Chain A
Amino acid sequence: KNEVEQSPQNLTAQEGEFITINCSYSVGISALHWLQQHPGGGIVSLFMLSSGKKKHGRLIATINIQEKHSSLHITASHPRDSAVYICAVGANDMRFGAGTRLTVKP
């Protein structure tokens, strides 16, 4: 079993929809990251969180340490949000989920 499990693997949404991507992990962590990988491969760190909730623009990330679960939400989705979203656990030497490929259609 992978240390980091993401769901769904693929997600297609219409522009404007509210999107949720889930991440469960089985190891003790000091931090959890949400990353965005664009088609060219480049990665942007969206959030690093160790408790509670963080918000940046239309993106919201939550984590429940007791349940070992985190969610990434995108409000009012837009085609430019189309990317692979990756959950990773660990402070620096991260372990990665397989990623969720999000496609937002206009």
Chain B
Amino acid sequence: KQEVTQIPAALSVPEGENLVLNCSFTDSAIYNLQWFRQDPGKGLTSLLLIQSSQREQTSGRLNASLDKSSGRSTLYIAASQPGDSATYLCAVKAGANSKLTFGKGITLSVRP
């Protein structure tokens, strides 16, 4: 059974810092991996989707990398801002028609 782990559960950094959020998964045979953002009391918003054949994806100040062999993905946030404060979840998919398995998320607080 696939398990997705995100450690630490919470992180607090000063504004302007570059930071890395980690995601690990137990079964390396994945179809794709997705990073989401969730603001308090809101739904999830997809940030980046990495297919199994890809090593990384970039969107603005966000860069997500994927290393299937080691069962790891990282979300890099450059020059963090208070508006980046949210919970970040990663999720993996085993196959094209499989369900997503979610990590429990990392709650990020960026201090002004």
Our verdict on whether A and B bind, yes or no, reads no
